[in-house]
Amino acid sequence: MTTAFYTHPDCKLHDMGPGHPESPARLQAIEDQLIASRIDQLLDHRTAPLALEDDLARVHSTAMIARVREHSLALAGTAGIYPLDPDTSVNAHSWQAALRAAGAALAATDAVIAGDIDNAFCAVRPPGHHATAHTPMGFCLFNNVALAARHALEVHGLERVAIVDFDVHHGNGTEQIFAHDPRVLMVSFFQHPFYPFSGTEPEGSHALNIPVSAYSDGSVVRQLVTEQWLPALEAHRPQMIFVSAGFDAHREDDMAQMGLVEADYTWLTRQIMQVAAQHAQGRIVSCLEGGYNLSALGRSVVAHMKVLADLE
Ligand SMILES: [Zn+2]
């Protein structure tokens, strides 16, 4: 197996201010834990290129792209921060970081489809799954996974893909973007009621977003995956799987109140690998979303990557 690890130093320069949980330290925690667990040297390290504005425009409106670019670049040479919403800000480096984050997902998709690598994890920020076609929100600027999925469909001509979202929050942006696109099946679970307070009334018929109550643990998640996600994925027969890999459902993550542990991320990743092996020639591109307890995040990404790289 060749598993690529995409990241870029620019992704650590996007900073939404002191004390913001979506911090540059998250990527450092992942890199440190990969080294400590000795799997770092077994991965194919790749540098994320910059996405083009034309790539972003496959999902996002030109007005939204311009809004992010202009507010970020207006801060060049300053330490200022501009709030796009109460949770989501840009600094001078955010535009470049967002292009790297999207660029990682797109380059990973190209490399997996070319057969150059088996699968990939993109350790990038800003994350993406709350970003809609028209609005950055919820720590997200552009929807990296949605961009990659649409790239696979429209540039590479795939006919069916799936998006698996195991972040603790509902991926409202991804659902909205693909609500009327039957080529894309989205499966997720999310703590409910909880930010962004959506997901219980489907926007289209191709999303299986399953609300779970606070304090649910891995057994609840494993049961819903087995009973609901896997049959839906089997029926859809995706030719490639994209993962919105958020690790904020971890028991130690104070952002939410769910009870997953590393073994649950191992199990989840195995299920995704099996569907991919059966229908998608093993093709998986996974992108970091949430995960705010730095220790739990690092350990959970290691658990995820060990399965992707067939090391466990
Ligand atoms: Zn989240």
- Catalytic-role residue among 14, 71, 130, 206: 130
Centroid of ligand 1 to alpha carbon of 66 (angstroms): 25
**3-state SS, residue 310:** coil
Closest CA to 307 of 275, 277, 276, 267: 267
* pLDDT at residue 202 in the model: 86
130 counts as catalytic: yes
Helix, strand, coil share (%) of the chain residues, nearest 5: 40, 20, 40
* pLDDT at residue 13 in the model: 98
Centroid of ligand 1 to alpha carbon of 157 (angstroms): 30
CA–CA dist 282, 218 (Å, integer): 25
**3-state SS, residue 232:** helix
Closest CA to 217 of 195, 194, 249: 249
Antiparallel, parallel or unpaired: β 82-85 and 88-90: antiparallel
Tokens of 49: 């290129």
* pLDDT at residue 22 in the model: 98
Residues of the chain with pLDDT under 70: none
Q: The dihedral of CA 270, 271, 277, 280: what is its sign?
A: negative
Pair 130, 169: CB distance under 8 Å: yes
CA–CA dist 7, 45 (Å, integer): 8
Centroid of ligand 1 to alpha carbon of 195 (angstroms): 9
Supply the angle between the helices 294-308 and 262-279 in degrees, to the nearest 10.
30
142 phi and psi angles, rounded to 5 deg: -120, 150
Closest CA to 181 of 156, 203, 155: 203
* pLDDT at residue 312 in the model: 84
CA–CA dist 187, 193 (Å, integer): 18
151 phi and psi angles, rounded to 5 deg: -60, -45
Centroid of ligand 1 to alpha carbon of 245 (angstroms): 9
Centroid of ligand 1 to alpha carbon of 248 (angstroms): 6
CA–CA dist 36, 268 (Å, integer): 23
Cα Rg of the chain (Å, integer): 17
Centroid of ligand 1 to alpha carbon of 169 (angstroms): 4
**3-state SS, residue 146:** helix
Centroid of ligand 1 to alpha carbon of 253 (angstroms): 10
Centroid of ligand 1 to alpha carbon of 168 (angstroms): 5
Closest CA to 270 of 240, 219, 305: 305
Centroid of ligand 1 to alpha carbon of 84 (angstroms): 18
C-alpha 121: how far from chain center: 9
CA–CA dist 140, 128 (Å, integer): 5
Q: Whole-prediction pTM value? A: 0.98
